[in-house]
Structure 1
């Protein structure tokens, strides 16, 4: 994004004494974009791994193993699509609005994100967990007891970490929405 455009947009709102410098806004926007990109890359790699695993090991007939993999891939794809749409939707509006209009837009945007965060994200997470749960009986039959226990432990730890990251992001977005509403 060009500095001149941000300077023009933010200088239009001179009534507020707390207008941050355009360079700090750009830095924060770039940092947020990097985090979003990292999240999308991690989800994309996870989907690719699941698809590769499914391609190699899916049985010829549909069973709970294939259902589990399908649920995991579908929930991740839904999240990727929503995050990409959300990212593009927000970025496309910045240059075309003045500061006051953009603040109103951000309020609507983060209210929409709250619906995503409190409805769709838990559903996707639960579907992913259920899909993973469906795989464990097959893992128990295919792998040694020690490796099976390792898979369970690593899955639980990974899900807790991912859940904590999701909750942290929801808290940040909720705080930002409250800040916008002041």
Structure 2
């Protein structure tokens, strides 16, 4: 039996990733890429509106800079400079002298980075039987990195199926040699 083992590619040199455990995901065209990114930003906006209804300053940490819990197991791999360069570099003090909350976030496909599940409680909730869901009935799992019990980074979990479902909704654009 002749098996061609070219099913999954490896990252190219231009895409430097901090972690060996973060997959490189790509799609065939900019239409898919833009639709998926718009979907992700819409979901992230909804997520943060639930957690911080009054709003919060937040920025995306580049997906290529993401590290996972597996990276933390090797203390020689994750240097303290990683945190300063990626999470703390833009911290500022407010007029009261306290650090201003500037949250970073990134998506993750690693469920182990996201042990918390966002819950929507019914307005009549009285301490029993609640449903975990969002407007579309989905739950959003997440994980955090904290300083003094204050979240400074959010891992926001997306499934590959969820991303593929968005990609499949985009009208197919014929490419050279492939008329659909």
Fold conserved between structures, TM > 0.5: no
| Higher helix proportion | 1
Structure number with greater CO (CA < 8 Å, separation at least 6) is 1
Structure in which a larger fraction of residues adopt strand: 2
TM-score by length of 2: 0.30
Larger Rg: 1
